[in-house]
Structure 1
Amino acid sequence: MHTIEHDIERPDRDVVAAFEEIPSTIVSDVTGNVGITMDPGIRPASDGIEMAGTAITVKAAPGDNLIIHKAITMAEPGDVLVIDCDGYVGTGHVGELMCTSCKANDLAGLVIDGGYRDSREIAEMAFPVYGRGVNPQGPLKQDPGSVNVTVSCGGVSVDPGDIVVGDDDGLAVIPGDGAERVLELAREKLDAEDTTREEIEDGTYLFDLKGYDELFEELEVVGPEDSIQ
């Protein structure tokens, strides 16, 4: 069954925009490091990417991009296309012209768990694109697929309206209904790290600041003489 849902609930745009200043590492830290960061196989097409936007989710058949073309026409400024192609990299599902269309219509970025092409042109266009691989093979256009359904991208379940944060380290996903709380925690974490950084620059060790000595004392530390010969 193919589903196309035009109306989705988006978080407040000011909240989404605020995540542009929050690194993916911080999002991961304050959300417990579990199930919210995409796997490292989804990589940025270029260095220096900073992205935050609202997910428009796409379920596309591996090797086919007809539904992706449709989703681009449905997305609003500030949205991120999150495309689930089952990790298939035997086809470049999106290329320069499609990404140019996304950029021209003020989308925040594109994430595809699958292959893309025109990698050099995409890298030079200063539009945030993440994908699992590059392949020059062109796609088919015969399987509609679905838009704005729950998808799996990079091992993370993504719903339409979730917030996607991306940078050079990778991608983190924030459920739309919990965005304000995550933003609050992220800002507190950044402030705390600023204080910690000052102490480190003065010569204090993280090992001491964080009390890791207590954890270390609980370990059974062995030396070379204890190894099996």
Structure 2
Amino acid sequence: MHTVEHDVDRPDSDVVAAFEDVPSTIVSDVTGNIGLTMDSGVRPAYDGVEMAGTAVTVNASPGDNLIIHKAITMTEPGDVLVIDCNGYTETGHIGELMCTSCQANGLAGIIIDGAYRDSREIAEMEFPVYGRGVNPQGPLKQDPGSINVTVACGGVSVDPGDIVIGDDDGVAVIPPEGAEDVLERSRAKLDSEDSVREEVLEGEYLYELNGYDELFDNLTIVGPEDSIQ
């Protein structure tokens, strides 16, 4: 069954824009590493990428991009296309012309759990693209799919309207209902790291500043003499 849902409940644009200055690592830290960051196989198309936007989700048949073309026409400026191709990397589902169209219409980026092509051109245009691989093989245009349904991308469940941020380290997904709390904790974490950085520059060790020494002292240390012979 294929579903095309036109309405997306988008979060406040000011909240989305505020996440532009929040690294994906900080989101992971303040959310307790509970699976809001995509797996390491989803990588940016170039170095220095920065992205923050609202998810428009696509479930596409592996090897086919007809539904992706349709989804592009349904986006608004500031959206990020999050495309589930079931990790298929034997076809380049999107390329430079599609990315040019997205950029011209104000999209914030594309994330595809699958492959893309025209990697050099995409890098040169500096349009944020994340994918699982690169393949020159062109896609078919014969299978429908679904737009704005829950998808799995990079091992993370993504709903339309989720806030998506990306940088060189990877991609993080923030559900809108808890976004302001995540943003507040992220800012506090960044301020804390600024203070800690000053102490580290003075020669202090994170091992002691963060209390890791106490954790270590509570461990049961096993030496060679304790090994099973």
TM-score, structure 2 as length reference: 0.97
Matching residue of 1:18: 18
In 2, Cα distance between the equivalents of 1:220 and 1:177?
42
Quote the offset at 1:204 in angstroms.
1.0
Quote the offset at 1:214 in angstroms.
1.3
Matching residue of 2:2: 2
Matching residue of 1:158: 158
Tell me the amino acid that sits aligned with residue 14 of structure 1: D
Tell me the amino acid that sits aligned with residue 16 of structure 1: V
Q: Unaligned 5+ residue runs, structure 1?
A: none
Equivalent runs, 1:12-91 vs 2, <5 Å: 12-91=12-91
Q: Unaligned 5+ residue runs, structure 2?
A: none
Quote the offset at 1:118 in angstroms.
0.6
Secondary structure of the 2:193 match is helix
Tell me the amino acid that sits aligned with residue 167 of structure 1: D
Quote the offset at 1:177 in angstroms.
1.4
Q: Structure 1 stretch 217-226 or stretch 55-64: which is displaced more?
A: 217-226
In 2, Cα distance between the equivalents of 1:175 and 1:23?
16
In 2, Cα distance between the equivalents of 1:69 and 1:99?
11
Quote the offset at 1:220 in angstroms.
2.0
Quote the offset at 1:223 in angstroms.
3.4
Secondary structure of the 2:92 match is coil
Tell me the amino acid that sits aligned with residue 203 of structure 1: G
Tell me the amino acid that sits aligned with residue 56 of structure 2: I
Matching residue of 1:201: 201
Secondary structure of the 1:166 match is strand
Secondary structure of the 1:82 match is strand
Quote the offset at 1:228 in angstroms.
5.7
In 1, Cα distance between the equivalents of 2:41 and 2:110?
15
Tell me the amino acid that sits aligned with residue 37 of structure 2: T
Secondary structure of the 2:123 match is helix
Equivalent runs, 1:217-228 vs 2, <5 Å: 217-227=217-227
Q: Deviations over 1:174-211 (max 9, x none)?
A: 00111111111100111111111111111111111111
Matching residue of 2:119: 119
1:182 and 2:182 correspond: yes
In 1, Cα distance between the equivalents of 2:126 and 2:64?
25
Matching residue of 1:130: 130
In 2, Cα distance between the equivalents of 1:49 and 1:25?
14
In 2, Cα distance between the equivalents of 1:90 and 1:126?
24
* C-alpha RMSD of matched pairs (Å): 1.0
In 1, Cα distance between the equivalents of 2:228 and 2:114?
45
Quote the offset at 1:225 in angstroms.
4.4
TM-score, structure 1 as length reference: 0.97
Tell me the amino acid that sits aligned with residue 171 of structure 1: V
